[in-house]
Structures are given as structure tokens and as C-alpha cells.
Amino acid sequence: MSKEMLEAFRILEEDKGIKKEDIIEAVMESLRSAYKRRYGQSESAAIEFDEKKGDFRVYTVREVVDEVFDSRLEISLKDALAISSAYELGDKIKFEESPAEFGRVAAQSAKQTIMEKMRKQTRAITYNTYKAHEKEIMSGTVERFDNRFIYVNLGNIEAQLSKQDQIPGEVFQSHDRIEVYVYKVEDNARGVNVFVSRSHPEMIKRLMEQEIPEVYDGTVEIMSVAREAGDRTKVAVRSHNPNVDAIGTIVGRGGSNIKKITGKFHPARYDAKLDRMIPIEENIDVIEWVPDEAEFIYNAIAPAEVDQVIFDTEDGKHATVVVPDDKLSLAIGRRGQNVRLAAHLTGFRIDIKSASEYEAIEAALYGEAEAVDAVETEETGE
């Protein structure tokens, strides 16, 4: 060992972010292990590192005894006195060993220990780096594809973009530059995994924070997002400044802000008549959030009109929404999309009823109630 070793430690610390102290401890541990393999125990081994010379020194420690039972741990008083007349029974004497005596086994053990330390340290640095970006948008490059994922290079790691996290109809080529939402970073036995999405509702929120200053500075707050990626999204917003219109701010002049957001996505669908893929735009409905739950649900059902919102007295998160007969299909939406998004946006389970349907239900309930009352009156004679 020499000053070259110190220089190697310095380079590892600067390039890999591994502390010199951790490397030294790893080498010392490997030498202890090698000593134990050779001599069957490591209790008597003491290992020191000379910071100035960059040398590791290995010592065995033996106790001065009258009768030696284990020469690895003990030395006779006679032999000790031959070394120095100052030794007495019970004294501990250090004998320097040469690390070279452990041969290639010790060297290989040290190398393996350092490499493992480097792998763990590098993995920890990678994990901490990307964990700090969890719940944020990152830019990356499409690297490769398989049956499960699109792999996106984020710099020091390939993130995984699963099929369910992709926008239907969106197609990429290798080396395409794309933005993704980092929704989970995990460290497991196989290494660090970064999971990203382009369909996640929170991606809309983060894009609005990037593109709209009033959202970034908190003047306008995005309260909730419901999204069916590539098709339609509902966003509930509120303003913390009475002079700032939340909906107008999000939409922007002539829809400019919404266009910035939808411009980040490129879904397409096959047109049989044209026999080619044509681009489609994800529609974003911006809705005013209000603390009154009935009014919020009313807003969320837009563009359909609402006659009334009735809350279930036994289930606080269930509501029946009554709409005009001619607005029923609009309130429900294509394949139930409008009411489904409204439910996700508000956090309520929502049943849509037409006015005539609701009146029929009410009439039936009141008719039964009146019949019961009549029977009870007849029985009591009151």
C-alpha cells in the first residue's frame, strides 16, 4: 500500500461520491475476513491505517500467560521476556503481520468488498437523486421498447413507462425527447426502479405549474384533477386573490394556456375513411372549486345543467344528481365519461337521475308512505 492508494481513494470520493472513510473501513473489514479464513478467528487481529503513508498494517494481539493453550491468542511469559524485560503476565503484545501474507485471497476480498461498497453507495446516490424528483416532471430520451415498457433515459437511469401509463394512441420513436411524470421511485434487491407516466392526472397539474405563473406562485390553486388520458380531463381550480379569475387564468387568452398543456401530448387515432392515423386533442374542462359540496358537484357535472343535488343521509360520500330530461345523456356523457370524471373530481359517488325519473321515484315513495299512514290511522282509530 502507498500514497497511490490515497490518490485512488480521493478519486473514488470525488467521482463516485464514496467517502474515503467508508472505503478504508471496507478494506479493513476485508482484511479481517481474510485473516479469519486463514487462522480460524479474527478476535486477535487489529488493523490500522496510516493516513500519511497510505498503508494498512495488520497486527495480532496476544496475551502474556504462564502456559500457552492457543498460540494465536497467547504468548508465554518466557517468550515475552525475550522480547522485552518489561512484559508481565496479563500484558497484551501486538505483532505486526504483513497483509501480503494473506496473498491473493486477501487482495481479492478487499477488491470485492470495495466494489460492493461502491455498488451500494452508487445505488444510494441514484435512489436519493431520483427520489427527490418523485411527484415531479422530468425530461428524458426514449431509449428502447419491450412488451411491457418504454424505457426512458433520465440521465443516470432508465425509467419505466408502462402501457397503462402511456396515453392511448401516442407513438414514440427511439431518441424522442419526452416529458414524464415520476410517480414512484423504489430501491429493491434488483436495484433502483423509477416508474414514470404520461397519463397520470398529476402530470396535468405539474404542467400547469410550469406553464402558468399564477399557478406556480399559488395565486390560483389546482384543487383536484380527474383525467382519462388522451381524451378528456376535468380540473377544479380556485383563486386566492379576489381580483384574479381562476378559470380565465387557467384557460388563458383565446385558450392559449390550455393549448400549451395539450400541446405536450400527441395522441392519435386511426381514421378508417382516410386510412391513416390522425392527431386528436385531449379536452380539458376547467371548473371552479367551491367549498359548498352541492355547488361543487353542480359545477363538476358541466356542461349539463343540474336541477338539484341530494346527499345520502346514511352515506356521506354518495349523492344523487337530478338533471332535466333533455340533459340526461349530456350529464352522463359518452360511455358514462362525464359523470365518471365528475365523481373522481369531487370524491363523491354520483348517481344521475332525470327529473321525470326522480319524480316517479318520489311519487312511489310518498305513495307508500301515505298508504302506511292510512293503515296506521285505521288501526288506531285516530
**Mean pLDDT by groups of 10 residues along the chain of 382 residues:** 64 72 77 70 69 75 88 86 91 76 56 74 88 96 94 94 94 93 92 95 96 96 96 97 96 94 88 84 94 96 94 91 95 95 97 92 68 46 54
Query: What whole-number distance in Å separates Cα of residue 133 and Cα of residue 128?
Result: 9
Let me know if the fold of 133-197 is the same as that of 200-289.
no
Instruction: Compute φ and ψ for 266, nearest 5 degrees.
Output: -135, 55
CATH class of residue range 200-289: alpha beta
What is the predicted pLDDT for the residue at 107?
Answer: 57
366: exposed, middle or buried (C-beta count within 10 Å: 0-12, 13-18, 19+)? exposed
CA dihedral 61, 63, 68, 70 (to 10 degrees): -40
Q: How far are the Cα atoms of 307, 358, 360, 366 from residue 363, in angstroms, in the given order?
A: 17, 9, 5, 5
Identify the CATH homologous superfamily for domain 3-129. NusA, N-terminal domain (3.30.1480.10)
Rounded CA separation 195/188 (Å)? 13
**Grid coordinates given for 107:** 487482495
Q: Which helix (H) or strand (E) holds 262?
A: helix 256-262
Domain layout of the chain by residue ranges? 3-129, 133-197, 200-289, 294-382
Superfamily of domain 294-382, CATH level 4: K homology (KH) domain (3.30.300.20)
Judge whether 140 and 178 are in contact, CB under 8 Å.
yes
Q: What are 137-157's pLDDT values in tens digits?
A: 999 999 999 999 999 999 989
How many H-runs (helices) and E-runs (strands) does the chain carry?
A: 12, 17
Model-level pTM greater than 0.85? no
Q: Which fold has domain 133-197?
A: OB fold (Dihydrolipoamide Acetyltransferase, E2P) (2.40.50)
What integer pLDDT is reported at residue 1 of this predicted model? 44
Strand partners, 256: none
Neighbours of 144 (CB within 10 A): 11
Q: What is the C-alpha to C-alpha distance for residues 168 and 161, in angstroms, rounded to an integer?
A: 13
Q: Report CA-CA distances (Å) from 167 to 58, 225, 227, 233, 272.
A: 61, 16, 11, 13, 21
Alpha-carbon distance of 166 to 145, in angstroms, equals 13
Question: Tens digit of pLDDT for each residue in 85-114?
Answer: 999 999 998 887 765 555 455 556 666 767
